[in-house]
Structure 1
């Protein structure tokens, strides 16, 4: 895993995949061992610490992180100003060289306030390499706290603590988090803390940590319908009232600046313009091109997002018992539908599904954390090219696993009911 992080760039797919396969095989071997909680913890910390000195090689997002963080350090809001408007201001460290490294220089930032806090703390160093180290240290610290709460939840629900290794030692989680600075691994610990407090009926604490998680990534908004439809009226009022208050405070820099509209326009662009490693969307895109002669993403993207929302609300409002196990399964299924209908599915997007899976008997997310690495093949060509045959392979294998697992689950339920 360390060799992969230090030796290869994004375009070295056919060198990356064998080493990732070895890391994945080692992970499977370790999971079969009878490890104690502390052994899993220290092994996970050691693997992450070994990546601190590596510069993100599979993603160029760090340049935008440093850009936004430096703006904050200079007293400027990253929400209301485009990078192209900043270059001419002569701000130290925000020069043409860094600007040329940005992957979306013509778009407003899409990163929420808590995420920006991590960027700012890293950018205090005024050097992108040092900022990389600082942010990785902060990420690892957050992950360790999250691991403690994962263990608490597992024990509280009668699940084996060794299941934590499914998440904490997973190669994708480590490489994309501590290696490439993707903040899903920060969002999840805060989400985990929130879940722990909510199901221990400490709703105000739960709302606080849920708001912080949303402040890292907006994605936890997806699971809120479950609480809305399944909490008692009093608990619902306390939880959502507190959540609205905390979210208002966290997003105040966005709400009170001209950047609020710009931020939402960037979110809208995500559904209408960006596409990468999708599955069902590509089928609709193909049909749309056959009918109209051009890419209909500006219509298909929002339509699929609406379908995702509708399915989520339907699933949350179904008459299911308000328990943690049902919530975990709901989170896994709703997040899976979101990704299967999404226009963009980067490897690190799967990390959240893996997190929910450790509290269930559903295992296809673990397989997906390996298969999704295939998407890096798109960067292996002289010019970026999305090879649909590789993507087809990824999703065919994934759907086979999903179908087989679904049939096995149905068969088990029928046998149990008969018994």
Structure 2
């Protein structure tokens, strides 16, 4: 034991400091205190970087540290997001046999709940934006809300803890299959810790209870099985991933060249057979998604759910990049906010980009496919009107298996968006947003055209 502490004393010092920082972040941080937030986060980012750099050959050491850091948050109430109030609300509706897609919280203020908080407090907690709109969370996510609310009994904190365990378990699953996939691709296994040990992931997923981690677990498992040529189970898991978060739907077109050009799938040398497999893959994904929605299906559900999704493109604005430039131009030319128009055009641009990546990029290997997924989802977020910090979890994970590292930088810089939450109300700092995207896009362009300039940075080796 004495030798252990002697050989790992600097790493142990980093771990203890990390625990103290995470504790302060979890239990003693107000979202409006941006200076403290970004200072703690910068320190945690450095700690994670050094731990991976020092212990990259010791898988179990880093895995244990990742779990330890997550358990610091176990009894914490999320302090950077109030979405968990809506999760509990939806979960309680399901437990009481009420379809969560057919009403908005403001219309059910008298809804009878066994929770320790009153309905009004739950509604106040989730915020007026959430309380006034239909839920946008797919069925598998709703199932997790219901189970967590049930396990939490009559306690909101109990429900929070239950959700946190699901998210931690999902991260451990991503660690397991992510490392296996890295080794299958002949990449360093420790690279998965740039996701698992990243303070961005620990804070936004475990801390703030965003279920991107569950979606990414099923996505990673799906990609791993696809690489193993087990495409049927891969399709089922991708369908489940979509039923947690809709985002993986973006990746379906990108499979075109992987199936059509990759003649090695199940040793098939017949292009037509690969085309049939592609259609079968799409069919299985579609069936898995539809089956998950069946308990809630109705014409009213389709209308409400579609309206809720459309809001993200035509009403909401936060931490955008290209859209903010377009919005500024719109004010100069039209004199008003053109989000309603831009919100219809930008998704079409994303579709065109995805089609270009699908048909003109050679996605004929698993690594190239993942790299194309990274480019596609990054283009989607760069053209989006709303980019909450936790959204970057997807490009960050995909970057672990690719040659691009701009998503790692993005996972640090995206936290600048929290400067919008001030003691005087919500007000975005466009200078900080500009810094975020100029650096992210700049590093991406360097990686494309001048990659040798970055080879001196340890993460790029």
Partner of residue 328 from structure 1, selected from 347, 366, 370: 370
Query: 1:138: Cα distance to partner?
Result: 1.1
State the match for 1:149 in structure 2. Answer: 177
1:146-295 equivalent positions in 2, closer than 5 A: 146-231=174-259, 232-256=274-298, 258-295=300-337
Q: Deviations over 1:197-237 (max 9, x none)?
A: 11212111111110110011000001111113431212213
CA distance in 1, matches of 2:97, 2:230: 36
State the match for 2:146 in structure 1. Answer: 120
CA distance in 1, matches of 2:206, 2:126: 20
Higher relative CO (CA 8 A, sep ≥ 6), structure 1 or 2? 1
CA distance in 2, matches of 1:301, 1:318: 26
Q: Deviations over 1:111-149 (max 9, x none)?
A: 001111111111112321110001001111121112110
RMSD: 1.6
Matching of residue 96 in structure 1 with residue 117 in structure 2: no
Q: TM-score, normalised by structure 1?
A: 0.95
CA distance in 1, matches of 2:361, 2:347: 24
Contact 2:55 2:61 in 1 (8 A): no
**SS of match in other structure, 1:151:** helix
Matching of residue 342 in structure 1 with residue 342 in structure 2: no
**SS of match in other structure, 1:389:** helix
Contact 2:346 2:384 in 1 (8 A): yes
Contact 2:323 2:342 in 1 (8 A): yes
State the match for 1:51 in structure 2. Answer: 73
The runs of 5 or more residues in structure 1 that have no matched partner are 413-419
Deviates more, 1:236-245 or 1:402-411: 402-411
Contact 1:11 1:377 in 2 (8 A): yes
Contact 2:216 2:394 in 1 (8 A): yes
CA distance in 2, matches of 1:144, 1:309: 33
Matching of residue 16 in structure 1 with residue 42 in structure 2: no
Partner of residue 87 from structure 1, selected from 88, 106, 109: 109
Query: 1:277: Cα distance to partner?
Result: 0.6
Contact 1:70 1:126 in 2 (8 A): no
CA distance in 2, matches of 1:79, 1:224: 26
State the match for 1:417 in structure 2. Answer: none
CA distance in 2, matches of 1:75, 1:182: 24
Matched positions, count: 412
Q: TM-score, normalised by structure 2?
A: 0.86
Contact 1:80 1:108 in 2 (8 A): yes
Is the alpha carbon distance of 1:411 and 1:314 closer, same or farther for their aligned partners in structure 2, counting shifts above 3 Å? farther
Query: 1:34: Cα distance to partner?
Result: 3.4
Partner of residue 370 from structure 1, selected from 405, 408, 412: 412
State the match for 2:458 in structure 1. Answer: none
**SS of match in other structure, 1:208:** helix
Is the alpha carbon distance of 1:314 and 1:70 closer, same or farther for their aligned partners in structure 2, counting shifts above 3 Å? same
CA distance in 1, matches of 2:100, 2:112: 16
Query: 1:403: Cα distance to partner?
Result: 2.4
Contact 2:257 2:364 in 1 (8 A): no
State the match for 1:76 in structure 2. Answer: 98
Contact 1:281 1:341 in 2 (8 A): yes
Query: 1:404: Cα distance to partner?
Result: 2.3
Is the alpha carbon distance of 1:295 and 1:206 closer, same or farther for their aligned partners in structure 2, counting shifts above 3 Å? same
Contact 1:254 1:260 in 2 (8 A): no
Matching of residue 39 in structure 1 with residue 61 in structure 2: yes
Deviates more, 1:125-134 or 1:231-240: 231-240
